[in-house]
Amino acid sequence: MDALAILVPVPAQVLTREVTTHSAEETTAFGRALVDLLVPPKLVLLRGDLGAGKTTLIKGIAAGFQAASEDDVTSPTFTLVHEYRGPQVTIYHVDLYRVDSPRELETLGLDDLLDNGLVLIEWGEKFPRFARDRDVEITIERLAEHDRRIRIVTR
């Protein structure tokens, strides 16, 4: 047996929702409808290739919580963390695409954000601790130019 399998248990995989969208607008609409599922504090990983639609889905989630308008949600590829403050919920939108070392990750102070916020991380699976500790994992798969399969797994 793989010794790592004992040291790093994978969270239980419960497929909660699965949908195929056919436009960016359908994906943001789906994101708006996730508010009930994403009551903070939660660590949410968004997985999928570049251009899959992770940021697009987060536009809908942020709008659903009235934390930002869809247009105000942009990729934090260079700034690494964007904060959207809603009346009830503060969302932290993180993109770790350019973060490679645990030391760099440390400087972002994500642990403090996790205490009461909703933390949405693109490329978080690069770091095993996030893959292990996540509450929700959303995987987006590009099926065709405008078609995306979105799967949501919770523990």
Q: Half-sphere exposure (CA, 13 Å, Cβ side) for 49?
A: 6
d(CA 65, CA 63): 5
Amino acid identity of residue 50, one-letter, is: L
Residue whose beta carbon is closest to ligand ADP: 53
Distances (CA, A) of 155 to 10, 42, 44, 136: 10, 11, 11, 7
Min dist. Cβ of residue 140 to ligand ADP (A): 6
Question: What's the first-to-final CA gap in the chain, in angstroms?
Answer: 24
Give the interface segment with Mg ion, choosing from 19-27, 55-63, 106-114, 135-143 (CB under 5 A): 55-63
Per-residue x/- marks for ligand ADP, 86-125, CB under 6 A? ------------------------------------x---
d(CA 81, CA 119): 10
d(CA 95, CA 80): 5
**Residue from the set 18, 19, 23, 39 that interacts with ligand ADP by CB under 6 A:** 23
Closest to Mg ion by CB, 4 or 60: 60
Residue 48 interacting with ligand ADP (CB under 6 A): yes
Give the interface segment with ligand ADP, choosing from 31-39, 46-54, 108-116, 125-133 (CB under 6 A): 46-54
Residue 54 interacting with Mg ion (CB under 5 A): yes
Closest to ligand ADP by CB, 115 or 136: 136
